Structures are given as structure tokens and as C-alpha cells.
Structure 1
Amino acid sequence: MNPNLLIPALILTPLIGAVLIALTGRWPNIREGVTLTTAATLFGLATQLIRPVVDRFEVGLTVAEPVPGLAIAFNLEPLGLIFALLASLLWFVTSVYAIGYMRGNKEPRQTSFYVFFAIAISGAMGVATAGNLLTLFIFYEVLTISTWPLVTHKQNDAARAGGRTYLGVLLVTSIGLLLPAIIWTWSVAGTVDFTQGGILYGLMGPGSAAILLAMFVLGVGKAAVMPVHRWLPAAMVAPTPVSALLHAVAVVKAGVFTITKVVIYIFGLDFLAEVPLEKYLIYLAGFTVVAGSVIALKQVEIKRMLAYSTISQLSYIVMAALVLAPFAEIGAAVHIVAHAFGKITLFFCAGAIYIASKKTRVDQLRGIGLRMPLTMIAFTIGALSMIGVPPTAGFVSKWYIIAGAFQVESYFTLAVLMLSTGLNAAYFLPIVFRAFFRPEDERPEIDHGEAPWPMVTALCVTAVLVLAFFVLNGPIVDIETRILEVAP
């Protein structure tokens, strides 16, 4: 197949799957078979684009150009390929997990869950393949709107309140800040295409560029930089597979992916080095890293703790992108993948604990490692990756970010990384200790073992990915190195 035609196939395949899922909703086994087949097909299509993108460095397709310099266009470059491969792979794994979770918890409206999940993945594919800011904005909003029914899936008061916060924050930031930033960029440059080296150099002063950069960073609410982070903990009312979608598969990754693209392809590293506010945005990202960890340390609900951990970890990526050092940019790309594998493992484990034992609090996990050894071993691996301990994926990304901070002598970044590492250990390691080395409550409410096998299988797979990426990260590093035209 023509590589250019594979791009619309990436977007349309989940949509076709959504239609088929809706039509087979009366037969759960067939419906879930369609879900898995569609997810596997999407990942297969994404893998077919590896060689064309690596060889040609981009694969593109323009659909329409309603205004000169403003087109609906797709252009899959290496960074977008990483996002597409990541989201499609984790969709399949999450679908396996969701079968066990949704059935084990006897969730209502399971067909609509799988339908909107598929539509959200289509939006993620659109974000990954967008050739310019306009196309990215369209699919960014598709992703927001399609995930709202998933956040409100339980349809109780808490779900509706969480959904209002989720939709409100993301739409207000994107329409109020991101869209004006895109329009401003077009008015200055006459284009919004993603271009190697950026499109704004020499076209606006450092002061104006500083304001524009701040509008992008805060307008991309999915990156959850404080103070536009409240939607993320509010969305924890959703079922755990939705939390996995929000934190690892598509939503937050779309946010940090967008900021990384804007830094590299709209501003360019050379131009941003002259922008004064860039330093203050590093301070804001660093504050988010530390504050998110401090708040996570105080949480008693497992999913809320993981939500604030995500807020902190996302700003690792934002901070690394804004350091403007080659190694740090590599670290930002690596951390997108490392965080996805680690955090999806942790959420899978939280859901498995809930399905098996109905426990949702950190202080309820005494001795649970003896009843659910596979789940808690996987949790330990995910936690060590969040801390940044070898041999896990999180160590690799932190290594590159630290190296980048040394390249430009950003001691603030180094201090943030050291402090946040200690905080991460402070709220993750006690859970591991409590699970394996503290005696179980004398009278557990439920005599349980592991969760249903699809859930355990999925969380074991993602835990293995956390370990495998420690040694198999070379292709990501090589791709990012080619983008930056530097050699590590």
C-alpha cells in the first residue's frame, strides 16, 4: 500500500471498528473480538509506516486548503510515528485488560465504552499524524470530546461532576489559549506547518514569542501544567481502563506530544534560546513536578495518588523540552514512552486490586502482595520506573534529561529531578513495603487471589515492557537524534 494512504487508514480503522462494535453490541464475545481485531489491525498498520518514515523522514497527505497557508494536512514524521505506535500498541493491551475489568465489575453500558474508546484512539491517530497546528487542533478536540463520555461512564453525581471539570478545563484552555496561539502563529508566519528548525525565527521579537510560548504551554491543557491540571484528578471517577487511556495511551501523551512538536517544529531550539519567558516556563514546569509529587504523597486513594504522580511526571517532559539541550530533548521523547509503560502498569494494578479485593486505599494494602504476587510485582516494577531506578524505562529518560541539564548548566532542573526522585520514592516504596512485608489484616473482608486472567496478563505484559525498554530504547534515541541533527 502507498505509505501516504496508510495515514487515513490509521484514522479510519478505529472509526470503522467503532461502528462494528456498536453493531455487535448484543453479542459480548463478538463485540470484544472486534475490539481486539481492530486494535491489532491498527498496530499492524502503524508498523507498516516504520520503514517509509525512517527512510524518507516523513510521509504526508494534504486533504484540503481552504485558506492559502492553512490546510487540512497530514505529515507523519518520526516523533509522530512514536506516538502512533505507542497508542496503537497500548490500545490492544488495554482492550485485553478492559475485557476482564468490565466483566469482572459487571459494568453497565460496555458497548458504548468500547465505541468511545475506539473513537478516542482515532483522535489520537489524528494528533500523531497532523501536518500542522490546525489539523492537530481539530483532532485534539476530537480526543477531548470523545473521552468525555468515558469519564462520565458511571453516570452518577460524582461522574457528572468530574466530567464537567474535565470538559470545562480542557475546552477553556484549548479555545481560550491554544486556538488564539495558532491564529497568531499563522498571522505572523503565514503558515502553521510543522517545519524542521521552526517557522518563527526572525518574524517576531523575543517578548512576543515569550507570550506566544506561554499561550501554547498553558493552552495545551492535556499536558496538565499547573494551574490547568485539575481535570486530571477529577477524571479519576472513571473506570480504571479509562484512567489508563487518559494517563498512558492517548490523552496526556497528546498534550506533551503537542508541546514537544511546538518547541521543535514551530519555534525551533535556536529561536527559543533567545526567548526570555522560556526560563520562567521551566520554573513553572519544575514547580509542577515538585508540587504534584508533594500532593501525591498526601493522597490515600490509590488512583488519586497516581493521578498527581502523572501531573508531576508530565512536567518532566515539558521541562525537558524547554531546557533546549539536545540530550534533554531526547529525554523528553524517551520519557513519553517510559511514562506510558510505567503508568499504565500502575493503573492496571490499581484496577486489578479493586476488582479482586474492592480495596481502593493505600492503607488497605497490608500483605496484599502474598495474595496477588503477580499484580504487586508488576506494581513494584512500575513504581521503580517512576522513581527512575535501573533496570527500568524511567531510568533511561531521567539519564538523558540530567545529561541535558548538565549540557546547558541548568542546575534548577537538576535540583528538581533530585527532589522529585526522593518524593517519588517516599510515596511509592511504602506501598511496596506494606504489600510484601507487613502482615495482612486479621479479617480481610474478601478472601481473594489475583484478578481475572485478562487483567493479570495485560499488567504482566506492560511490566515486561517497562523492563524491556531499559535496553531496547535505541530506536527512539536514534529517531530523536536525527530530528535534532545531533549525535549523543
Structure 2
Amino acid sequence: MNFLQQAMPLLVVLSSLIPGLIIFTLREDQRALRTFLNLAGVSVQLVLVALMLLGVSRGFSFKLQLPFIPNADLILRADALSLQFVTLSSVLWLATTLYAIGYLKGSAQHSRFFGYFSLCVSTTVGLALAGNLITFLLFYELLTLTTFPLLVHRGTREALKAGKIYLAYTLTGGTLLLLGIVVLHSLAGSPEFMTNGYLQAFQDDHRLTLTLAFALLIAGLGVKAALFPLHGWLPRAMVAPAPVSALLHAVAVVKAGAFGIIRVVHDVYGISLAHTLNLMSPLLWLAAFTIIFGSVMALRQNEIKKRLAYSTVSQVSYITLGVALLGPIAAIGGLVHLVHQGLMKVTLFFCAGIFAETLHVHRIQDMNGIGRRMPLTMAAFTVGALGMMGLPPIAGFVTKWYLGMGALEMGQPWVLLILVGSGILNALYFLPLIYRGWFGLAPERWPEDTGLGGGIPGWRETHWMLLAPTLFTALASILVGVLAGTPISPLAWTHFIVNPEFGL
């Protein structure tokens, strides 16, 4: 392995870390330089990720390993699974950065916000590239610390309260994750993640220890993955600015938890050992319950962002459901949902932010006729909502198709009832928003434009820096569904991830 292959994972992390550190030093009036650093960092990261995608697809490896503690090095590596998450993070970093620049126009503390924003991306990418549990834990905890200032950015009493609740949940989760890693480290050290796991040799004499460690790991990861009953922080975090909400729900925090569950099941324990220890049945039922619970709670919300938050509680658990079914087809459905849910949910939060900041629309009953005032934004919201419901050809349909087929493959037909029930509930809490937006009786006069309209006479939409990322992610949500059968789709890459492990 040459020097460039070793350095590449670190360079990807640094591509967002270095701009973030520089941005902290900038004055508030240095807007042009701050924008340049943001866009330059994401551009470099996208190029590096594209090179690693090409390399891994051709059999090259990228890994940096540094001594840390006995039997536990710090490892950054790029494999097919990590690159799926890193690619999503990088693409949505670009979209969210552009959106945030337009969204925060005229507000204070830009340098602080964009500095932590870049650090959040760095820790997310580092977590994705982590090659063992110790490295994963390091970035998992750093992610908590870098997202907290973003959550409380507005500094209101409500934001500070939400931040305290967020820290209480996530630090407790981090402690449980640490305990689980310590238990496994005392047994097997902290070797590199391995296809089909590295704990198989310990199953005969340490079944209780392995079961205890698994419960601790899932509890710790389940906080960020918003599994019931560890989800309580997520709806309260909706006080954050819309770009932060989009980041939390589509890329960073909840995806970090779900991604960690994938790593633990597939690369620490392995499919065979997880089945032998009967670890997946409780996780499967927990994921199924969370899917229905999140949907029912979403139905009860009157605020748009809170309804979207409980939708995330439900939707992210599709990933855990696919993993817990322990079959290749279901695993494809769960893993590809990392990408699909990210694209659809970031679109919905972008739209919610546009409604709130441009026209002061925060509640569902205030959406009447907003589609005639902002047709492009409402069209993007409609795409995201229909995708979440699972309508073809949008991305969400592909996820549910594979999860349903995977459930039948593994002899778990009851999972189909969960998917159908969730789809019906999704329709019940999304269709009223779509109906109100397009067909509701609009007010005689909309609130005065807040300035995000760009100052263009007759322009009915929001500022282009908010609208362009929203339309991009909405279009991407359609394209990844329409092109699902092509070699360039996230689904094709997910087949590439899963096939070697299951020997297909």
C-alpha cells in the first residue's frame, strides 16, 4: 500500500476539519472568505471520495493505522460500506452548506456556526471511516460535542433546554457504548472490523458476556439511532435552525447510530454468531415497534418540524429492521435506506425551513395554499413526502420493496404487516400536508417576505440559495429510484457491499 492510499482517509477528514478551524478565526464581515472556505472544503472532499470510490470498486484498499493503546490502534479505512456513508455525507454537506449560507443571511455568529458545521462533517466522515470500535467511539463522542453548539445556536431558553436534554441522552448513550466496547476489548481486544465478525472463536465459553456486550452496544447506539424508548431527545432538537435539523436527521447523528448498529451486527459479531446467540429477534421486534410508534406519534403533531422529527424516528428504524432480519435481500434494503432516507428527509427539512423563514409558516394548519405561493418548494416537499410513503418510482419504494422481499426470504411474513401499516400511517400524516399545500384555501394576504425571497420583483419562491439545494435533493430522490437498476445507483453499490458477505 503506497503513501497516498494510507493518507487518503485522513485527507478526507482534514478536508472539512481544516476549513472549519480557519473559519473560527474569521471576522463576521469576512463572508466571501468564509463562503470560499466552505465550498472549497466540500469540493476537495468530493474529489477525494470519488477517487476512493473508484479505487475500492477496482479492488484497491485505503487504510491508515496509528498506535493508540494496547491491542487497539486508531484505524481509518475506506471500504464499500464506509464509502456509501461518506458519499452521502459529502454530497449533502454541499447541499446543506449552500442552503445554510442563504438561510443564515443577516443573522449573527456566522463564523461560529460554520466552524462547528464543518467540524460536525469531519466527525461524521471520521466515524464512517473508522476501522475498529475504539476509533468509532472516538468520533462518536466527538460528534456529540460538535453538534451541541449547532443545536443551541439560537441561544434561546428553549434551545438551551433542548441542548441539555440532547447531552443527557447522548452522553449516557456514549457511556453505554464505552462499557460495551470495554467488555469486548477485555475479551478479544479491538481488532479491525471484519466481514462476518471477529468474535466467532469466543462463542462457546463466553455467550453471556457476548450477549451483555451486545445489549450495551445497541443501547448506546440506539440513542443516536432514536430507537424507542431512547428517542426523546430528537423531537426536542427541532428548535435548531433548519440546516442543523436537516444535518441531524439526514446525515449526522441519527445515521451515526444506525451505521454503528450495522457495524456491530455485521463486522463485530457477524451474521452467524448473531444468529447463534439469538441476538436479532429482540432487535427486530424493537425496530418494528419503533417504526409504528414513530408514525403514530407523527400523526399527533401539529408543528411541521415535529411531525418530520417523529417521521425520522420511524424511518431510520427501517435500517435496523433490514439488518436484524439477517438476510441478504433485507440487508440491501436496510443499507440502501441510509442514502434514500437521507435524500428524502433533507428535502423535507429544507422545505420546512423555507416555509418557516420566508413566510413564517410553522404549523400544518397554516400551510393552506402555500403550493400556489411557492409551487417549486411545495413540489419538492411533495416528492419527499410521497417517497417516505413508498410510492414508486421515488427512492422510498425501493427500500420497502427490498425489505418486504427480504422478510419473505427469511420466513418473517409479519414484517409485511409492519411495512404496510407504516405506509398507511405515513399517508395519514403526509397527505393532509400535501392536500393543504395544493388545495387548501390560501389566506388573503401572506406575511411580508422576510428578505429570503431575494428581492426580485414578482418572484414567488424563496432565495435561490435555499431553493437550489432543495430542488437538487428532491430530483435526486426521484433519480435514485428511477435509476435503481443501473450500475450507477446507490442500490447497485449496496449490492456490491452485501454480496461478498453473504456469498452471493
TM-score tier by shorter-chain length is over 0.9
Say if 2:230 is the partner of 1:213: no
Give the corresponding residue for 2:469. Answer: 458
Match of 1:161 in 2: 161
* Offset of residue 34 of structure 1: 1.4
Higher mean C-alpha displacement, 155-164 vs 409-418: 409-418
- 1:461-483 residue CA offsets vs partner (Å, 9 max, x unmatched): 00011011111334323322334
- Report how far residue 278 of structure 1 moved: 2.1
Cα distance between partner residues in 2 of 1:171 and 1:65: 23
Structure 1 residues 199-208 or 15-24, which shifts more? 199-208
Which amino acid is 1:194 matched to? F
* Distance across 1 between alignment mates of 2:61 and 2:319: 23
Distance 1:211 1:407 in 2: 29
Matches within 5 A, 1:107-118: 107-118=107-118
CA distance 1:277–1:267, shift in 2 (3 Å): closer
Q: How does 1:125-144 map to 2 (within 5 A)?
A: 125-144=125-144
What is the rounded CA distance, in whole Å, between the counterparts of 1:35 and 1:338 in structure 2? 25
Residue 295 of structure 2 contacts residue 425 of structure 2 at CA under 8 Å; is this kept in 1? Answer: yes
Distance 2:129 2:490 in 1: 22
Contact 2:8 2:62 in 1 (8 A): no
- Whole-angstrom CA distance in 2 between matches of 1:262 and 1:222: 15
The answer as to whether partners of 2:184 and 2:210 remain within 8 angstroms in 1 is no
* Segment drifting more, 45-54 vs 207-216: 207-216
1:259-313, Cα deviation, whole Å (9 max, x unpaired) = 1011110011111112234212211111111001100011011111111100111
Give 1:469's aligned residue: 480
* 1:195-225 deviation per Cα after TM superposition (whole angstroms, max 9, x unaligned): 1111112413544433332222211121111
* Deviates further, 42-51 or 18-27: 18-27
Percent identity between matched residues is 37
Please state how far the C-alpha of 1:36 moved relative to its aligned partner: 1.3
Aligned to 2:188: 189
Q: TM-score, normalised by structure 2?
A: 0.93
Report the 3-state secondary structure (helix = DSSP H, G, I; strand = E; otherwise coil) of the residue aligned with 1:226. Answer: coil
Aligned with residue 29 of structure 1, among 20, 28, 32: 32
Equivalent residue for 2:72, pick from 67, 70, 73:
70
Q: Is 1:420 aligned to residue 422 of structure 2?
A: yes
Task: Select between 186-195 and 298-307 the one with higher mean Cα deviation.
Answer: 186-195
| Aligned residue number for residue 261 of structure 1 | 263
Matches within 5 A, 1:265-414: 265-414=267-416
Cα separation, 2, equivalents of 1:149 and 1:350: 21
Could you say which residue in structure 1 is the equivalent of 2:171?
A: 171
Report the Cα distance in structure 2 between the residues aligned to 1:39 and 1:274, rounded to whole angstroms: 43
1:411-450 counterparts in 2 under 5 A? 411-446=413-448, 449-450=460-461
Indicate how the Cα distance of structure 1 residues 363 and 192 shifts in structure 2: closer, same or farther if over 3 A, else same: farther
What is the root-mean-square deviation in Å for CA atoms of aligned residues?
Answer: 1.5
Q: Deviations over 1:179-210 (max 9, x none)?
A: 11111111222334211111112413544433
Instruction: Name which of structure 1's ranges 2-11 and 126-135 shifts more when overlaid on structure 2.
Output: 2-11
**C-alpha distance in structure 2 between counterparts of 1:208 and 1:58, whole Å:** 33
CA distance in 2 between counterparts of 1:322 and 1:431 reads 33
> Could you tell me which amino acid in structure 2 is paired with residue 47 of structure 1?
A
CA distance in 2, matches of 1:40, 1:276: 45
On the 8 A contact 1:185/1:192 being kept in 2, the answer is no
Shift of 1:450: 1.4
Which residue of structure 1 lines up, in the alignment, with residue 457 of structure 2? Answer: none
Hey, what does 2:152 align to over in structure 1?
A: 152
Does the 8 Å CA contact 2:238/2:306 hold for their aligned counterparts? Answer: yes
Contact 1:58 1:78 in 2 (8 A): no
How far does residue 350 in structure 1 lie from its aligned partner after superposition?
0.3
Report the Cα distance in structure 1 between the residues aligned to 2:477 and 2:5, rounded to whole angstroms.
30
Residues 113, 150 of structure 1: 8 Å contact kept:
yes
* 2:63 paired with 1:50: no
Deviations 1:385-418 (A, max 9, x none): 1111111111111111111101111123222111
- Contact 1:385-1:395 at 8 Å conserved across structures: yes
For residues 287 and 60 of structure 2, what CA distance do their matches in structure 1 show?
A: 30
CA distance in 2, matches of 1:397, 1:483: 20
SS at match of 1:241: helix
- Give the drift of 1:57: 6.1
Deviates further, 198-207 or 459-468: 198-207
- For structure 2, the 5+ residue unaligned runs are 454-459, 484-488
**Alpha-carbon separation, structure 2, partners of 1:370 and 1:36:** 33
Deviates more, 1:49-58 or 1:226-235: 49-58
| Residue deviations 1:407-455 (CA, integer Å, cap 9, x gap) | 1111232221111111011101111111111221234333683111110
In structure 1, C-alpha distance between the alignment counterparts of 2:430 and 2:48, rounded to whole Å? 37
Q: Which moved more, 1:146-155 or 1:10-19?
A: 10-19
Report the CA distance between 1:19 and its aligned residue.
2.4
For 1:119, the equivalent position in structure 2 comes to 119
State whether structure 2 residue 501 is matched by structure 1 residue 484.
yes
Kept after mapping to 1: 8 A contact 2:372/2:438: yes
| Contact 1:333-1:476 at 8 Å conserved across structures | no
State whether residues 98 and 469 of structure 2, in contact with CA within 8 Å, keep that contact through their aligned partners in structure 1.
yes
Deviates more, 1:183-192 or 1:258-267: 183-192
Name the TM-score, length of structure 1 as normaliser.
0.96
Paired with 2:228 and 2:214, the residues of 1 have a C-alpha distance of: 15
User: In 2, are the aligned partners of 1:346 and 1:383 still within 8 Å (CA)?
Assistant: yes
Moved more, 30-39 or 305-314: 30-39
Contact 2:126 2:139 in 1 (8 A): yes
Distance 1:412 1:212, change over 3 A: farther
Shift of 1:356: 1.5
Rounded Cα–Cα distance in structure 2 between residues aligned with 1:14 and 1:146: 13
Counterparts of 1:467 and 1:367 in 2: how far apart (Å)? 24
Question: Which consecutive unaligned segments of at least 5 residues does structure 1 have?
Answer: none
Match in the other structure for 2:486:
none
Q: Is the 8 A contact 2:151 2:237 kept in 1?
A: yes
Q: Deviations over 1:53-83 (max 9, x none)?
A: 222364211111420x211112221100111
- 1:182/1:192 contact within 8 Å kept: no
